[in-house]
Amino acid sequence: MKFNFSDSVLGMKPSEIRELNKMASTPGLISLGGGMPSPETFPKKDLEDIMNYVMENYADLALQYGNTLGNDSAREVIADMLKKTEGIQAASKNIIINSGSQQGLYELATVLANPGDTIITEEPTYVGAVSAFSANQLRMEGVEMDQQGMIVEGLEGTIRKLMGDGRKPRFIYVIPTFQNPTGYTMPEERRKVLIEISETYNIPLVEDNPYGQLRYYGKNVDSIRSMKNGENTIYLGTFSKVMTPGLRLGYTIAPDEVMEKFNLIKQALDLATNSFSQYVAMEYVKRGVIYRQIEENKKIYKVKRDRMVSALREYMDGVARWSEPEGGMFVWATLNGNIDTRMMREQAMRNGVAYVSGQAFTTNNTQKSSMRLNFTFGSVEQIEEGIKRIRKTVDSYIEKH
């Protein structure tokens, strides 16, 4: 049989991160590559109690198909949680519960754009978003970032240019807080400008915020969705980093008319999100375990973030520059001297350390000398040793080239 594949799948590239996950079990390899939370943050005992409780009290419903947009009580509980943690005022009818925010990204692309349409992202951007958008055959136009996130002055120019070419962008996708991959956070002033640009040009703004609840330093910056005139922003959130990614639960907040379309597409995708997970998450929030766990995660990750930053200062000074994020899960390091981090990756693996090269996150084939380093998964010892091994790799790579 000769299979003929769709243009959409033929246009997709295998993800470097998927390759990396395959390597993760190689003995002795320290992975700073994946984007995984630490299993020590999984609230195992609480989840065990909650799962037993759900089985004892709600088994008939929790094991049944559920509503397409999500369990109504769970949507209310999420609305309530977002008021507390993000200051977001959203009605439960404007929340859809998805199989991870990853599914939310896919839905968004299907609902808001046609194949061949252009959307705007940060450059670099989240590799999973690139995959969801590519699967829908969208063209991505990346707007450059500095340490304050997307350079909004550049955004307006990009929009005008695209409009001049008859390619008005269908939406603007940003991760304004502790961005993946850079760790950068956009200050309030720029967020205001984003809202203004979105309104002026009538281009929907999408805020993806999986890390906002994980701040270790500095003052909170309000989410765009919670700001004045931010109500039209489509907002994605997740339980992956503050409960467990294994239960696959995320959510999207959107205006009424967008919800109607999400409803249609969600039926095509999986009819409804896992009912059992929703019951568990609902109880997890209702009992307040989530708020305790967020504080616990912050304590654990702050120590790891600090160790990564101090190891970078100790071992990478003079050969790289890097972000020192106030929260989230990633540091973005850029090597001096045009070293291609993708080319260097194999050597790094041989030296027992893995990272994701900058090119995995690019929309326009740049970021060649950068790498994303995750500080949540490994132990502090592994983090320090991993950075040491990267330095060793850089030195031998420079010698050979």
Binding site for ligand PLP (CB under 6 A): 35, 100-102, 126, 128, 175, 180, 208, 210, 238, 240, 245, 250
Nearer residue to ligand PLP within complex by CB, 175 or 344: 175
Least CB distance to ligand PLP at residue 351 (A): 26
- Cβ(157)–Cβ(306) below 8 Å: no
- Cβ(90)–Cβ(209) below 8 Å: no
Least CB distance to ligand PLP at residue 147 (A): 18
Contacts of 360 (CB under 8 A, 6+ apart): 15, 16, 17, 127, 372
Least CB distance to ligand PLP at residue 100 (A): 3
- Cβ(279)–Cβ(74) below 8 Å: yes
Least CB distance to ligand PLP at residue 83 (A): 20
Nearer residue to ligand PLP within complex by CB, 191 or 389: 191
Least CB distance to ligand PLP at residue 108 (A): 11
Q: Beta partners for 141?
A: 120
Cβ burial, residue 217 (10 Å; 0-12/13-18/19+): exposed
Rounded to whole angstroms, how far apart are CA atoms 311 and 173? 32
- Cβ(341)–Cβ(357) below 8 Å: yes
Least CB distance to ligand PLP at residue 199 (A): 24
CA dihedral 275, 276, 282, 283 (to 10 degrees): 160
Nearer residue to ligand PLP within complex by CB, 175 or 281: 175
Least CB distance to ligand PLP at residue 188 (A): 20
Nearer residue to ligand PLP within complex by CB, 34 or 162: 34
Nearer residue to ligand PLP within complex by CB, 68 or 102: 102
Least CB distance to ligand PLP at residue 105 (A): 6
Nearer residue to ligand PLP within complex by CB, 175 or 258: 175
Nearer residue to ligand PLP within complex by CB, 126 or 216: 126
Report the helix count and the strand count for the chain, using DSSP H and E. 13, 14
Question: What φ, ψ does residue 370 adopt, rounded to 5°?
Answer: -100, 165
Nearer residue to ligand PLP within complex by CB, 103 or 393: 103
**What one-letter code names the amino acid at 159?**
I
The residue whose two tokens read 């959307």 is: 119
Least CB distance to ligand PLP at residue 33 (A): 12
> H-type helices in 114-151, by residue range?
127-135
3-state secondary structure of 263: helix
Q: Beta partners for 146?
A: 149
**Alpha carbon 276 to chain centroid, angstroms:** 24
Q: Tell me the residue number closest to ligand PLP, measured at CB.
A: 100
Nearer residue to ligand PLP within complex by CB, 35 or 327: 35
- Cβ(138)–Cβ(119) below 8 Å: yes
Number of residues that make up the chain: 401
Rounded to whole angstroms, how far apart are CA atoms 314 and 387? 9
- Cβ(203)–Cβ(169) below 8 Å: yes
Nearer residue to ligand PLP within complex by CB, 273 or 351: 273
Least CB distance to ligand PLP at residue 338 (A): 28
Residue 202 tokens, joined: 């009538």
